[in-house]
Structure 1
Amino acid sequence: MMSSRTSFSVVHGEPELVVPAGPTPRELKNLSDIDDQEGLRFQHQVIMFYQKSHVMEGKHPATVIKYGLAEALVHYYPLAGRLREWPNRKLTVDCSGEGILFVEAEAHVSLKELGNSILPPCPHMKELLLDVPGSQGILGCPLLLFQVTRLTCGGFAFAARMNHTICDSLGLVQFLTMVGEIARGVSISQFPVWQRELFNARDPPRITYAHHEYDETKHCSNKDTMDFDQMAHESFFFGPKEIATLRSHLPQHLRKCSTFEILSACLWKCRTKALGLEPNEIVGLSPFITARGKVGLHVPNGYYGNAFAFPMALSKAGLLCQSPLEYALGLIKKAKAQMGLEYVKSVADLMVLKGRPKYKTKENYLIGDTTHVGFYDVDFGWGSPIYGGPAGAIPFVSFYGRFRNNEGEDGVVVPILLPHHVMKRFLFELVKITSEVPVGLSYNKITNRSML
């Protein structure tokens, strides 16, 4: 199994623009007031790894996928455009048809040699997703960058970088699903829906919730929460045993809570303990909650814009650390329960009234769950990926991903980014809460199972 430090050579082809395969409208289309908030003005990376398929023998994945991209862009033509910014920082897509970036590459390594390094935080992202000069900007740059890297075993890596203002993870998967259907020659199952006005501010705008997730950051003297010069980027695997142990900490009537809820409660508590905050400091957890399927929101099938909010659970650090796990769980459930039409409209109104601010990061931890997004359903002809999801964490934000480990267990992999000294304390707290036996007897075992 390859160490994350082992290097291998990658030969990159020249980056090219893939344009829609047919004519598309030339028009300006406004993003929603949820889309263009400051916190989504970044490039989000995901990666998928596919094994060799005898059915696709003799076919080059880059050629197959590039064909599917060009055809799918006829339907998703705004993705081939460029962003402009108008007064009040309003973003608009110029549907110019200029295209998306595509890179073809060959790597002298096999999936077997890569081993667990395919998981977040993937240490090979610089090789598997070329940082094309001049493409990183939010305005006036390609909205998507894809790289297909063929491996010596016949499998390949498919890496993607998306401008997060144009779509969320569900929207990206919806687009890639169509790419796969076209590549395989099957019927298209879902056509795109724009309708960004669904998530626009009201007229006149009015903030009706206390949106602590957008509170202005106040100065704090605690160095542990501010010193991010030396960061540790680690991943933790939570299989059935770890989740069952976490549930055993709860009263019987709460044990049917979702995996997302119990895992988020655990991570929030362990992370807060590791940070060593003053007991009276206020800490928060902001779960990304989708608007799709929520009563009153009526998000149509095919909508590929950002359709979520992240209501914030709040607690004093001391109370969170000293209380049983059910305390954190209750706060998360309460925060999630706020999500609905009024809450989303209040967020959109806040964006217009307050200049589209970034979410709060100080003493806040944001968590996104991609386990049900559908990355494992993206099939370009080579079947399901053996891993599909986020490439890693970003400061203050973790993304949950699906994975089956070497023991055949299905579970959740969570990348986390913390200062090195904080990460050591976090691991200690995590071992304590996920272990069925005293820490001294189980520390090494849990470390090996959890850290990938």
Structure 2
Amino acid sequence: MATFVAHRGKAELVVPARATAHEVRPLSQIDSSPGLRQYMTLIEFFGCRVPGGAPKQLASSLKAALAEALVYYYPVAGRLRELPAGRRKLVVDCTAEGAVFVEARADVRLEELGKPLVPPFPCVDELICDVGDVRTVIGKPLLYLQMTQLRCGGVVVAMTTCHSVADGYGMVQILKCILDLARGQPVPAVFPLWERHLLASSIPAAMLPKDEASPTLRTLTSMPPPPIDEPVTKSFLFGPTEIAALRRGLPGRLARSSTVFELITAAVWRCRVAALEYAPDKRVRVTLAKNARGSWKREPRLPPGFYGNAVMGTTAEASADELCRGSLARAVELVHEAKMKLTDKRLREVLDLLARNEYAGANLFDGGFAVSDMSRCGNASLELGSWAERAGGGTPGAGGVLATLSSIYMSCKDSNGDECVAVPMCLPELPMRRFMSQISAVTKVIAISSM
């Protein structure tokens, strides 16, 4: 894997290109969740189609486009603060203080970074802005953008955004706006909408508690991370061949009706539990982060352009013995049943629990695992210009011990050019070897058994 150092220019504060409204914008109960009070990075890699590399004015075009984008996304040019009285509800002060832009260069070629470009991205910290403590969000810029030019003429664009303001879909929407404007598009393809009231609790403010931290926050701050060996990260590709093999291991009706997400999640969850060698009676869970922009969200629908957090968790649970000794079909059914728990009614219940500081969330430290699907967030629509070709990208994912407890699915193309879902997995070395064996078996054995 390539190693390199990026030579960064001075960080510049970019303000909106024109005057914007100075106001206070409320965030939803989901936005204010303790687990989202951190920064999240979206990183995109672009190869060069023409001799000479990127246009010389690319950095200035991106900086100007960022200033223009902040006119439409003006809350992102503001700063977060907490409401008084200890309620821990966040609001955005739309102060037009701006976002951060950094221009950098790295003496490395795009092809040295790996193919396909999936986690672990080499020297990823060199390609993204330094935001300091990623869990400190109050009073800091809400968006950081670094453009790194490579020796081959390729470019890496990394946008780091406060997760309390936007989810993965929202981040792609913001970055697409910046890149489109940099290419000369006069206005955003999709105009942003705040509309956080659509994901607000129905409980009157006067009836809400004022001083108690939520169970989620208490869990995050009081539970020590489990001791683990030095983890390693690998990405596993699920393309047409792997998906077809998984389907062949299911009975006809289930094989036809199961989604790609259900198939992958069931297989990954089952193989991960087996690799970690839990006791047979240990309760194990997989928490699915599902998007309220999806078909299960009926009323009111979230409008196009909504870029706030619209993800809710739902959990499948079993004993380790039931999951690992049972069939893949049973694991798929458990994942499907968990998805079916997501309804408008359940979302309203969660919003009210969040408002009352009673929502405990999922305990990932005790047999838990979380998955989130960014493979359909629209990254493939990101364009930097006719001179460039998107080579891949996604999110580096969580850091620290949380990296071993979660996976974010991303889209990529394999060596044959087939569309794949990349599933990063972070585990200690010995469980990783067992996981690799399990994943290999669940595809190869299923495929052979159907012949």
TM-score, normalised with respect to structure 1: 0.87
Matches within 5 A, 1:302-381: 302-354=305-357, 357=360, 359-362=362-365, 363-381=367-385
Is the CA contact (8 Å cut-off) linking 2:48 and 2:152 kept in structure 1?
A: yes
Q: Which residue of 2 aligns with 1:405?
A: 414
TM-aligned CA deviation for residue 283 of structure 1: 1.1
In structure 2, the CA distance between the partners of 1:432 and 1:78, relative to structure 1 (3 Å rule), is: same
Q: Secondary structure at the match of 2:314?
A: coil
Give me the whole-angstrom Cα distance separating, in 2, the residues matched to 1:356 and 1:254.
Answer: 33
Q: Which residue of 2 aligns with 1:175?
A: 174
Q: Which among 437, 443, 447 is matched to residue 428 of structure 1?
A: 437
TM-aligned CA deviation for residue 133 of structure 1: 4.4
Is the CA contact (8 Å cut-off) linking 1:11 and 1:106 kept in structure 2?
A: yes
Q: Secondary structure at the match of 1:386?
A: strand
Paired residue type of 1:129: I
TM-aligned CA deviation for residue 326 of structure 1: 1.0
Listed one character per residue, the Cα deviations across residues 29-65 of structure 1 (whole Å, up to 9, x for unaligned) are: 1110011111111221221101114498634432221
Is the CA contact (8 Å cut-off) linking 2:35 and 2:217 kept in structure 1?
A: no
Q: Which among 15, 18, 22 is matched to residue 19 of structure 1?
A: 15
* 1:40 and 2:39 aligned: no
Give me the whole-angstrom Cα distance separating, in 2, the residues matched to 1:215 and 1:26.
Answer: 31
TM-aligned CA deviation for residue 195 of structure 1: 1.1
Is the CA contact (8 Å cut-off) linking 1:10 and 1:107 kept in structure 2?
A: yes
Paired residue type of 1:259: V
Paired residue type of 2:11: P
Is the CA contact (8 Å cut-off) linking 1:122 and 1:392 kept in structure 2?
A: no
Q: Which residue of 1 aligns with 2:91?
A: 92
Q: Which residue of 2 aligns with 1:195?
A: 195
Paired residue type of 1:414: V
Give me the whole-angstrom Cα distance separating, in 1, the residues matched to 2:54 and 2:407.
Answer: 37
Q: Which among 404, 407, 418 is matched to residue 395 of structure 1?
A: 404
TM-aligned CA deviation for residue 388 of structure 1: 2.4
In structure 2, the CA distance between the partners of 1:84 and 1:111, relative to structure 1 (3 Å rule), is: same
Matches within 5 A, 1:409-420: 409-420=418-429
* 1:121 and 2:120 aligned: yes
Is the CA contact (8 Å cut-off) linking 2:411 and 2:419 kept in structure 1?
A: yes
Q: Which residue of 2 aligns with 1:444?
A: none
TM-aligned CA deviation for residue 356 of structure 1: 6.1
Paired residue type of 1:385: R
Q: Secondary structure at the match of 1:65?
A: helix
In structure 2, the CA distance between the partners of 1:52 and 1:60, relative to structure 1 (3 Å rule), is: farther
Give me the whole-angstrom Cα distance separating, in 2, the residues matched to 1:309 and 1:170.
Answer: 14
Give me the whole-angstrom Cα distance separating, in 1, the residues matched to 2:337 and 2:133.
Answer: 43
TM-aligned CA deviation for residue 136 of structure 1: 6.0
Give me the whole-angstrom Cα distance separating, in 2, the residues matched to 1:36 and 1:286.
Answer: 20
TM-aligned CA deviation for residue 407 of structure 1: 2.6
Is the CA contact (8 Å cut-off) linking 1:23 and 1:74 kept in structure 2?
A: yes
- Identify the range of structure 1 (136-145 vs 325-334) with the bigger mean alpha-carbon deviation: 136-145
Listed one character per residue, the Cα deviations across residues 300-343 of structure 1 (whole Å, up to 9, x for unaligned) are: 11111001101111111110111101111111111111222111
Listed one character per residue, the Cα deviations across residues 263-288 of structure 1 (whole Å, up to 9, x for unaligned) are: 00000100111111122221111111
Give me the whole-angstrom Cα distance separating, in 2, the residues matched to 1:331 and 1:68.
Answer: 46
Give me the whole-angstrom Cα distance separating, in 2, the residues matched to 1:141 and 1:191.
Answer: 25
TM-aligned CA deviation for residue 433 of structure 1: 0.6
Q: Secondary structure at the match of 2:179?
A: helix
Paired residue type of 1:177: K
In structure 2, the CA distance between the partners of 1:158 and 1:9, relative to structure 1 (3 Å rule), is: same
Give me the whole-angstrom Cα distance separating, in 2, the residues matched to 1:270 and 1:412.
Answer: 17
Is the CA contact (8 Å cut-off) linking 1:287 and 1:366 kept in structure 2?
A: yes
TM-aligned CA deviation for residue 189 of structure 1: 2.0
Q: How many residues align?
A: 424
Listed one character per residue, the Cα deviations across residues 150-202 of structure 1 (whole Å, up to 9, x for unaligned) are: 01111101112111110111111111222222222224321111111111112
Is the CA contact (8 Å cut-off) linking 1:121 and 1:392 kept in structure 2?
A: no
Give me the whole-angstrom Cα distance separating, in 2, the residues matched to 1:252 and 1:262.
Answer: 14
Give me the whole-angstrom Cα distance separating, in 2, the residues matched to 1:315 and 1:78.
Answer: 43
Paired residue type of 1:261: E
Is the CA contact (8 Å cut-off) linking 2:59 and 2:103 kept in structure 1?
A: yes
* 1:83 and 2:102 aligned: no
Q: Which residue of 2 aligns with 1:73?
A: 70
Q: Which runs of 5+ in 1 are unaligned?
A: 207-212, 440-452
Listed one character per residue, the Cα deviations across residues 97-122 of structure 1 (whole Å, up to 9, x for unaligned) are: 11111111011111122233842111
Q: Secondary structure at the match of 1:92?
A: strand
Is the CA contact (8 Å cut-off) linking 1:237 and 1:413 kept in structure 2?
A: yes
Q: Which residue of 2 aligns with 1:445?
A: none
Q: Which residue of 1 aligns with 2:210?
A: none
Give me the whole-angstrom Cα distance separating, in 2, the residues matched to 1:217 and 1:424.
Answer: 31
Is the CA contact (8 Å cut-off) linking 1:37 and 1:358 kept in structure 2?
A: no
TM-score, normalised with respect to structure 2: 0.88
Supply the RMSD in Å over aligned alpha carbons: 2.6
Q: Which residue of 1 aligns with 2:243?
A: 243
Paired residue type of 1:285: V
Matches within 5 A, 1:118-197: 118-133=117-132, 137-186=136-185, 187-197=187-197
* 1:386 and 2:425 aligned: no
Give me the whole-angstrom Cα distance separating, in 1, the residues matched to 2:360 and 2:99.
Answer: 28
TM-aligned CA deviation for residue 217 of structure 1: 6.9
Q: Which runs of 5+ in 2 are unaligned?
A: 208-214
Give me the whole-angstrom Cα distance separating, in 2, the residues matched to 1:192 and 1:387.
Answer: 25
Q: Secondary structure at the match of 1:11?
A: strand
Q: Secondary structure at the match of 2:97?
A: coil
Is the CA contact (8 Å cut-off) linking 1:236 and 1:414 kept in structure 2?
A: yes
